[in-house]
Amino acid sequence: MHDPKAFREMHRARFNADPMIFAAPGRVNLIGEHTDYAEGFVMPAAINFATLAGISPRSDDKIAIYSENQGEEKVFDGVQAKGTKQWTDYPMGVAAILAGEGHKIPGFNLTIWSDVPLASGLSSSAALEVATAFAVLGLIGASYQGPKLAKICQRAENEFVGANCGIMDQFISINAKENHALLLDCRDLSYKLAPIPDHVALVIANTMVKHSVAGGDYPTRRRESEAACAVIASHRPGVTFLRDCTLEDLAKWGNEMEPKSYMRAKHVISENLRTVAAADALLKGDMKTLGRLMAEAHTSYSKDFEGSCVEADAMVALAQDLPGLIGARLTGGGFGGCTINLVEQSEAPAFAEALGARYAEQIGIVPQIHVCHASGGARRVE
């Protein structure tokens, strides 16, 4: 239902009021994985899958949230102080953080609908947070600069939902530009836009293996890489994040680290170098170099970071000799989810079909494959 009219009707029928409607996209990350919380570099693009949030005021102080995807409506006595470990924590978390920023949040009705595949590494959580933030801010007539709003949404996930994510997903959902990827410096949140040429399609291949940031592996990897950073920092006081570390540091002091920490740090430090080089290649239109860097990034993510899985490795391997492929890698938080394939536009439909058939035959699961393009960031929908 990318049809705002039908969505408006749905809200009207349930809440008997005309909503303001906002949309926030999901994303793929072309390169730069598990670097954002180490104040490093990432290069995501928003995709043409989005979450819609429709909002209307209420005459009491209650907050009613209906999700078409969950098929469920929950009503709360105003903004809650703590999460309840259910899907409403994402929108309620945003309202709670905004309240903590000093905004008076009145009662409201919120309708949510999304076609961002859930738990697939395409940032359905961030899309929900950002769509809610736009809706609540629209209701109270307030606004924030993109970077500040991204931080508010990230805090909702860190502090209210309890998932220790970085800033990438919320940032791109807000600040994306159509047909562009965005090289983000997660230290100061400055960014550069790089056009994705017309002849290149984003082909997203869902392994159908569920991924979750709240689950055990993401925080474990984060802790392991932070432990490696602490070893380097004990020798070099200027170091606060792996962003500050070099491969030379790793060569010097890697032997003082747990082997797993060493491997995680090797991935993160080298991934930062690859991501900056990849943005440079994209800006120059050098697709060959970009594809090579994506391949190296996948190997590093899979072997050193151990963030992949059998199915995602297969999806990447099966793409390699298909006509039109520029580069393929697992995208997002890892341990399942989707691969991103940059593919020559003219070959994209045949590529998608062949990859799907190969994966189904080898893995025994029928994958979902989407030929996408880079979309713009969150906005009000008229």
Establish if 41 lies at the interface with ligand GLA (CB under 6 A). no
Burial readout 246-279 (b: 16 or more C-beta within 10 A, e: otherwise): eeebbeebbeebeebbbbbbbbbbbbbebbbbbb
Among 268, 275, 277, 165, CA closest to 226: 268
Establish if 92 lies at the interface with ligand GLA (CB under 6 A). no
Count the residues of the shown chain that bind ligand GLA, applying the rule CB under 6 A.
11
Q: Which of 34, 151, 155, 243 lies at the binding interface for ligand GLA (CB under 6 A)?
A: 34
Token code pair at residue 277: 């080089």
Establish if 337 lies at the interface with ligand GLA (CB under 6 A). no
Establish if 168 lies at the interface with ligand GLA (CB under 6 A). yes
- C-alpha distances in Å from residue 338, one per residue of 73, 76, 92, 304: 30, 35, 28, 19
185 in active site: no
The CB-of-251 to ligand GLA minimum distance in angstroms stands at 25
The CB-of-269 to ligand GLA minimum distance in angstroms stands at 15
Establish if 205 lies at the interface with ligand GLA (CB under 6 A). no
> Segment contacting ligand GLA (CB under 6 A): 30-38, 190-198, 243-251, 372-380?
30-38
Token code pair at residue 73: 């409506």
Q: Which of 95, 213, 228, 257 lies at the binding interface for ligand GLA (CB under 6 A)?
A: 213
From the candidates 169, 244, 249, 313, give the one annotated as an active-site residue.
169
> Segment contacting ligand GLA (CB under 6 A): 33-41, 48-56, 81-89, 314-322?
33-41
Establish if 332 lies at the interface with ligand GLA (CB under 6 A). yes
Binding track over 231-270 against ligand GLA, x by CB under 6 A? ----------------------------------------
DSSP state of 343: E
**Can you tell me whether residue 325 is helix, strand or coil?**
strand
In the sheet that 338-344 helps form, which strands lie side by side, from edge to edge? 325-330, 338-344, 200-206, 368-372
Q: Cα separation of 157 and 150, whole Å?
A: 11
Q: Which of 54, 324, 327, 333 lies at the binding interface for ligand GLA (CB under 6 A)?
A: 333
Token code pair at residue 329: 């890698």
Establish if 347 lies at the interface with ligand GLA (CB under 6 A). no
Q: Count the alpha carbons within 13 Å of 268 in the hemisphere toward its beta carbon.
A: 29
Establish if 169 lies at the interface with ligand GLA (CB under 6 A). yes
Q: Cα separation of 327 and 56, whole Å?
A: 44
Establish if 33 lies at the interface with ligand GLA (CB under 6 A). yes
Among 211, 262, 28, 35, CA closest to 122: 28
Establish if 160 lies at the interface with ligand GLA (CB under 6 A). no
The CB-of-249 to ligand GLA minimum distance in angstroms stands at 22
Q: Cα separation of 76 and 168, whole Å?
A: 30
The CB-of-171 to ligand GLA minimum distance in angstroms stands at 9
Spatial CB neighbours of 24, under 8 Å, sequence gap ≥ 6: 50, 51, 53, 126, 127, 128, 129, 130, 131, 134, 173, 174, 377, 378
> Segment contacting ligand GLA (CB under 6 A): 5-13, 131-139, 161-169, 225-233?
161-169
Establish if 166 lies at the interface with ligand GLA (CB under 6 A). yes
Where along the sequence are the contacts to ligand GLA (CB under 6 A)?
Answer: 33-34, 36-37, 165-166, 168-169, 213, 332-333
Return the active site residues.
Answer: 169
